[in-house]
Structure 1
Amino acid sequence: MKTAKELIAKLLNMLGIDNEQEFCNKYDVVYGTLQSWKFRNSIPYELILDICKKNNIRLESVFYDEIAPVRDVISVRYYQDISASAGYGVINCDEQCSEIVLDKSFAKELLNVNNAKNIDIIKIYGDSMEPFVHSGEFVVVERNKNDFNRIKDGEIVIININGDIYCKKILKNPYTKEITLSSLNSFYPDFKINEEDFENTKIIGVVSKAISIKDFERAFIKINN
């Protein structure tokens, strides 16, 4: 795989940009930050994805000189501009997603799924769900499991409450019509949702696995636009 310096140079060439300062001005990047990426060999994956998407550039053509054919693939949705709070809630307005195309064997290893038809990847902010997932890491969300009756007691869910999106453990009370949203970090208190509040509550899906930043970067180089 190319270094950060090589990737930036190739991207500038593909965009027809003559110099790094022009690139920084166009994409609102601090020039010193770009130099730091090169010096530390730190690849700005999300910026590259965003630029490739806006300019209709195949991401493989940036990362590789030759694109090897991928025969057996599945795709998942990555919501680059949506995050779920593991703390006190994050309002998310932009629901545009990118498609990540992975070979099936790699997807099974990374996502622990055989069929990614209803799979989303969402970033987590906050520390209330540690050690299961840390702030800045990602979770695999099974969208087909979004009904209160189908969700099992103790499962971790992504849930929308009045526009705020949370990542929490769901606890069902078999005797009362309410649920409790619990954090794994004992610093954060639980909170309850009563039946009358259900109409303002939507479960997006069940979290099947947490993905570290390192593993997400491994997946990133297999993205198609």
Structure 2
Amino acid sequence: MKRTPQTADLDGGGVVLEIPAVLKRLKKHLDIRTNAELSSILDVKPNTISTWKKRNTLDYPRVLALCKTYSIDIHQLFFNRPGTDTPFPGRKDKKGFSVVTRDTYFQYVSQCNKESFVGSLPKFHFPFISGNNIRAFQVVGSAMAPVLKDSDFVVGEYVDADTTDMVNGNIYVLVSNVRGIYICRIRKDPKDNKVIHLIRDNETKNTLSEVKMMADEIIELWEVISVFSLDLIGNNKTKNSDH
């Protein structure tokens, strides 16, 4: 389980979180008093809460899933700021980053250059993610399992449509005006710089990728910088309770 560092970036500024205060507010929101009660709700060992306090760290995915389940505003929880909405898909304000869900894939390919369409997409707003021009895409299919599972969300940082600086082995979101949206590792063709091989993690090592994409058909390119499981937003809590 990866832990988010104790310093979070909120709207471009460094903010040091005081985890004991966060946990105190969490108990207040849940109307409980003891660490034992909190550990039971979070489904962690009783001494885990004490460890979080001592290390000033937190299992953010688990806590954020709990916030979704109990409708707790994370701005109030983490920063003691009143009056903000829950930061999950469906929030439509100027903050956060757009989310391309599986049901908007087809429209996105043809309308990704239209500000009105992009502005109509749902948004994520997490203070723990920062980057220049970022967007989330929902994973469709299991071609990248186990690294990326069906219905996960990847966050990509925009790198234009120029394939020159793509790094072999890195994961990208490739938007093609011919093939649609692919989320894959890439390998440049050593003999033809106009050809990109899309590598699937669950293929055997000696299998050449079945999918080849021409550089000139790519209209957008996003380098994946983060991955979210559906468990993070509370929709898959039972199935993936340990992740």
Task: Return the TM-score normalized by structure 2.
Answer: 0.47
Are 1:210 and 2:227 an aligned pair?
Answer: yes
Tell me: CA distance 1:201–1:101, structure 2 relative to 1, closer, same or farther (3 Å): closer
Looking at structure 1, the residues matched to 124 and 184 of structure 2 have their Cα atoms a distance apart, in angstroms, of: 25
Residue equivalent to 2:158: 143
Identity within the alignment, % = 16
What is the CA distance between 1:216 and its match in structure 2? 3.5
What is the CA distance between 1:137 and its match in structure 2? 1.0
Q: What code does the residue aligned with 1:186 have? A: E
Q: Does the CA-based 8 Å contact 1:160-1:201 persist in structure 2?
A: yes
Residue equivalent to 1:171: 187
Q: Does the CA-based 8 Å contact 1:76-1:120 persist in structure 2?
A: yes
The one of 99, 109, 124 aligned to 2:123: 99
- Tell me the alpha carbon deviations over residues 193-219 of structure 1, each in whole angstroms, 9 at most, x when there is no partner: 36xx4332334311122211122449x
Secondary structure at the aligned position of 1:68 is classed as: coil
Are 1:131 and 2:146 an aligned pair?
Answer: yes
Are 1:79 and 2:100 an aligned pair?
Answer: yes
Q: How does 1:1-225 map to 2 (within 5 A)?
A: 68=82, 75-80=96-101, 82=103, 92-94=106-108, 96-103=120-127, 106-107=128-129, 113=130, 115=131, 117-144=132-159, 146-161=161-176, 162-177=178-193, 178-186=195-203, 190-193=209-212, 197-217=214-234
Higher relative contact order (CA 8 A, sep 6+): 1
Q: Does the CA-based 8 Å contact 1:157-1:203 persist in structure 2?
A: no
Gaps of 5+ in 2: 1-25, 31-67, 85-94, 109-117, 236-243
Tell me: CA distance 1:134–1:149, structure 2 relative to 1, closer, same or farther (3 Å): same
Gaps of 5+ in 1: 4-42, 45-58, 84-90, 108-112, 219-225
Tell me: CA distance 1:152–1:189, structure 2 relative to 1, closer, same or farther (3 Å): closer
Tell me: CA distance 1:144–1:176, structure 2 relative to 1, closer, same or farther (3 Å): closer
What is the CA distance between 1:143 and its match in structure 2? 1.4
Aligned residues: 144
Secondary structure at the aligned position of 1:92 is classed as: helix
Residue equivalent to 2:241: none
Looking at structure 1, the residues matched to 185 and 169 of structure 2 have their Cα atoms a distance apart, in angstroms, of: 6
Looking at structure 1, the residues matched to 217 and 171 of structure 2 have their Cα atoms a distance apart, in angstroms, of: 19
Looking at structure 1, the residues matched to 169 and 102 of structure 2 have their Cα atoms a distance apart, in angstroms, of: 28
